Amino acid sequence: MAESDVELSAALTDPAYREAVVDLLAVVAYGELSAFERLVEDATLAPSLADKLALAQMAGAELAKVQPLVDRIALLGTDPFVAMAPFHEALDEFHAHTAPADWYEGLVKAYVGDSLARDFYREIAAYLDPDTRDLVVSSVEEGLHSEFAIERIREAIAADAPLGGRLALWGRRIMGEALIQAQRVAADRDALTAFLVGGVDRPGMDLAALGRMFTRLTELHSDRMAELGLDA
């Protein structure tokens, strides 16, 4: 079915909800575009041609996720690039503050930072209409990058134990910066904030529920650090 043939759900006739959905799709789209750019940059740090090719393939997978989001934003009557513009500063600032110094820091950042963003959007997706929820969830599915990062980092730590301590500190920094930017994105957009505390045809999250959400994000981060063989 072509994107133009998609029948919009009744929930999207609500202007406030529609604006929030556009914001959400736009930040996910810009996040995926940024992930593509970062993986391309990280590929230049790869220690082997096999690693370089693996990251290039992963970058292509991230880029492929952008077009369906762009198409849906356009279907909702908004210029996708105008919609993405408000999120440039926060996401670009995150990447500027967390530029990796080497290949392994880049892998940890991609695994920890991207996974946290995916967790955040999956949490929000629970409050979306079914069509939008399915699009967001499919857009934040984890690809082969997770397995690749876990394998490479575990191998590196086994060969160089002190590296584990440095990467553990780096992972904590990524987590702190990512939470700051996630909160900033939600707070800076009135429609998105209103949606978070209102939901669609169901109660939204109050401050306590928002707090529990960020607690879950922190716990998932700890689990992923453990998968890497790092202390959270």
For position 178, what pLDDT does the model report? 83
Burial of 131 from C-beta contacts in 10 A (0-12 / 13-18 / 19+)? middle
The answer to whether position 2 is within a domain reads: no
Half-sphere exposure of 182 (CA within 13 A, CB side): 25
Q: Is 209 within 8 Å of 132 (Cβ atoms)?
A: no
**What predicted TM-score, i.e. pTM, was given to this entire model?**
0.84
Q: What pLDDT sits at residue 66?
A: 94
Domain that holds residue 107: 13-228
Distance CA 139, CA 136 (A): 5
Is 7 a domain residue?
Answer: no
User: Are 49 and 43 within 8 A, CB to CB?
Assistant: no
Distances (CA, A) of 62 to 38, 145, 171: 10, 10, 22
The answer to the question of residue 143 being in a domain is yes
Q: Please state the domain count of the chain.
A: 1
**pLDDT on residue 205:** 59
Q: What is the pLDDT of residue 136?
A: 92
In one-letter notation, the amino acid at residue 97 is H
Residue type, 68: P
Query: Would you give the DSSP letter of residue 111?
Result: I
Are 76 and 12 within 8 A, CB to CB? yes
Q: Do the domain assignments include residue 1? A: no
CATH at residue 37? 1.20.1260.10
Quote the pLDDT of residue 3.
46
What pLDDT, on a 0 to 100 scale, did the predictor assign at position 198? 60
The answer to whether position 8 is within a domain reads: no
Is residue 55 domain-resident? yes
Chunk the chain into consecutive blocks of 10 residues (it has 232) and report each block's average pLDDT, rounded to whole numbers. Answer: 52 84 93 90 90 88 92 95 92 89 91 85 84 90 78 93 94 88 73 64 60 84 90 77
Per-residue pLDDT, 4:
42
User: Residue 165, CB half-sphere, CA atoms under 13 Å: how many?
Assistant: 3
Q: Is residue 120 part of a domain?
A: yes
User: Does residue 38 belong to any structural domain of this protein?
Assistant: yes
